[in-house]
């Protein structure tokens, strides 16, 4: 396997650090528009690999420059390096050129976020317009006819939560009432004086996109529909000391993926944002700073959202200032295999102190990055295979969860949990 990873931000950098410990690939190209950033990732991965005495050849990592908005450039770089798989590790506005560039190069494709939605023109808070991933699924027949695989939504959410959905359907439930992705944390970021500051632990560009778009819900007999942002608040109890967090509806890929492969009466996604974060997002929306359309400022055209992203701390840099844990999981309700009512939360928790010590990566980006690396290893082994545009639900969940949790060096030594409630 020869991997072209596009993007060396927080998640891409963490993915390279994780992959360096594995032997399933021959080449891992780290490509970024800012080649210096890609080179930094390769340099740090190589230094860490050498100083830690890890097995394998750190020379498998090379840096390259690419414009992710140019499908021809993506295709050319994939061909140059003989990439068998193009791994998209940039924000979702670049999904389609990378997706199409991979196909043009004859490579398989993976991403962690899908093509962007476009809200309904007249009824945005009740009806869907163009849904997340629609532009990719529109090309599914072509990918299948060419024998190529586009594995979409294989981060943590979407990604691991979708793997949990497949596992629940196959092993735990005979009938599913609701597949409810629930994401929460007790993370805090502090300045040099110890004061807590506002510093999102994930791409603010992507977070704005998810949280201010109309959330999507799926219901049997009704299909997909939308609601107002931050709707249906509920307090959810997260495990391993995180505790209760108020969660609200947010637009997310799980709701668009799970119903395609799994029978359930309802599918939702709720994110534990907290009052402060919701307040900031509402303010950005009120001021128009969430807009992606460029405006002219002093003779220069800039996107307001790009400005917001530029002035906030880089999520990749805040790990040393962060404390706490992050939890991604799926709350499933329905009827168990024994015919009795069942309510089960399947989850994965990462402690920032651990991820910083073990990988030099903050917990949110590490948790996102580990899942596509696991998926790539399963594809390299032939444990997972397929063609077309497929979500994680289309594959057997057990090998993924076993590999994720197994002790090193066989696995990734990142256990997941299950709580019946």
pLDDT in tens, 1-36: 999 999 999 999 999 999 999 999 999 999 999 999
Helix/strand/coil for 404? helix
Q: What is the DSSP letter of 24?
A: S
Q: For position 57, what pLDDT does the model report?
A: 65
Question: Which of 37-41, 198-202, 317-321 is most confident?
Answer: 37-41
Residue 201 in this model has a pLDDT that exceeds 80: no
Asked whether the bond before 98 is cis by omega within 30 degrees of 0, the reply is no
Residue 316 in this model has a pLDDT that exceeds 80: no
Full set of structural domains in the chain with CATH = 2-155+365-420 (3.40.50.720), 160-362 (3.30.360.10)
Residue 116 in this model has a pLDDT that exceeds 90: yes
Q: For position 65, what pLDDT does the model report?
A: 98
Structure tokens at 243: 């505790």
Nearby residues of 40 by Cβ (< 8 Å), 6 or more positions away: 8
Q: For position 35, what pLDDT does the model report?
A: 97
* Sheet containing 85-88: order of strands: 61-65, 27-32, 2-6, 85-88, 108-111, 149-151, 388-390
Residue 241 in this model has a pLDDT that exceeds 90: yes
With pLDDT > 90 as the criterion, what percentage of the chain qualifies? Answer: 77
Rounded-to-integer distance, Cα 238 and Cα 92, Å: 28
**Pairing label, strands 196-197, 188-190:** antiparallel
- Residues 44-72: tens digit of each pLDDT: 998 887 766 555 566 799 999 999 999 99
Q: What is the DSSP letter of 104?
A: H
Nearby residues of 80 by Cβ (< 8 Å), 6 or more positions away: none
Rounded-to-integer distance, Cα 88 and Cα 152, Å: 10
- Residues 369-416: tens digit of each pLDDT: 999 999 999 999 999 999 999 999 999 999 999 999 999 999 999 999
Residue 309 in this model has a pLDDT that exceeds 90: no
Phi and psi (nearest 5°) for 411?
-125, -160
Q: What is this structure's pTM?
A: 0.91
Q: What is the mean pLDDT of residues 227-256?
A: 94
At residue 112 the predicted structure's pLDDT band, cuts being 50, 70 and 90, is very high
- Residues 321-370: tens digit of each pLDDT: 889 999 999 999 999 999 999 999 999 999 999 999 999 999 999 999 99
Asked whether the bond before 33 is cis by omega within 30 degrees of 0, the reply is no
DSSP conformation letters of 252-302: -HHHHHHHHHS--SEEEEEE---HHHHHHHHHHHHHTTT--S-EEETTEEE
DSSP conformation letters of 149-185: EEE---BTTTBHHHHHHHHIIIIIEEEEEEEEEEEEE
Place of tokens 């999904």: 95
Q: What is the mean pLDDT of residues 119-148?
A: 97
CA 50 remoteness from chain centre: 29
Using only the alpha carbons of the chain, give its radius of gyration: 20
Q: For position 99, what pLDDT does the model report?
A: 98
């Amino acid at each position: 396997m020869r991997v072209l990873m596009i993007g060396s931000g927080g998640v891409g950098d963490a993915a390279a650090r994780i992959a360096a410990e594995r032997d399933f690939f021959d080449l891992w190209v780290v490509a970024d528009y800012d080649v210096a950033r890609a080179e930094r990732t390769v340099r740090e991965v190589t230094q860490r690999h050498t100083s830690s005495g890890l097995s394998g050849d750190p020379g498998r990592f090379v840096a390259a420059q690419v414009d992710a908005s140019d499908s021809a450039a993506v295709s050319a770089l994939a061909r140059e390096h003989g990439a068998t798989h193009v791994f998209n590790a940039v924000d979702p506005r670049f999904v389609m050129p990378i997706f199409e560039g991979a196909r043009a190069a004859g490579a398989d494709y993976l991403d962690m976020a899908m093509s962007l939605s476009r809200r309904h023109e007249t009824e945005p808070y009740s009806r869907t317009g163009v849904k997340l991933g629609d532009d990719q699924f529109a090309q599914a027949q072509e990918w299948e006819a060419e024998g190529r695989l586009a594995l979409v939504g294989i981060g943590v959410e979407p990604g691991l939560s979708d793997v949990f959905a497949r596992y629940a359907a196959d092993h735990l439930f005979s009938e599913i009432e609701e597949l409810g992705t629930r994401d929460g944390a007790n993370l805090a970021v502090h300045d040099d004086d110890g004061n807590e500051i506002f510093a999102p632990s994930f791409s603010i560009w992507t977070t704005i996109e998810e949280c201010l778009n109309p959330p999507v819900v799926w219901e049997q007999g009704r299909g997909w529909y939308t609601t107002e942002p931050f709707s249906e608040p509920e307090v959810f109890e997260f495990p391993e000391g995180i505790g209760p967090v108020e969660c609200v509806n947010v637009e997310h890929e799980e709701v668009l993926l799970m119903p395609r492969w799994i029978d359930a009466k309802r599918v939702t996604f709720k994110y534990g944002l907290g009052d402060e974060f919701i307040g900031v997002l509402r303010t950005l929306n009120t001021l128009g700073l969430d807009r992606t359309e460029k405006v002219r400022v002093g003779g220069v055209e800039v996107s307001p959202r790009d400005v917001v992203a530029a002035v906030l701390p880089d999520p990749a840099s805040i790990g040393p200032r962060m404390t706490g844990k992050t939890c991604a999981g799926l709350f499933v309700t329905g009827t168990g295999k024994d015919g009795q009512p069942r309510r089960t939360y399947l989850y994965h928790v990462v402690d920032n102190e651990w991820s910083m010590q073990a990988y030099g990566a903050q917990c949110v980006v590490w948790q996102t990055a580990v899942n596509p690396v696991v998926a790539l290893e399963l594809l390299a082994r032939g444990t997972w295979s397929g063609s077309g545009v497929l979500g994680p639900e289309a594959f057997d969940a057990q090998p993924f969860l076993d590999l994720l949790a197994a002790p090193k060096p066989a696995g990734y030594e990142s256990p997941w949990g299950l709580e019946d409630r």
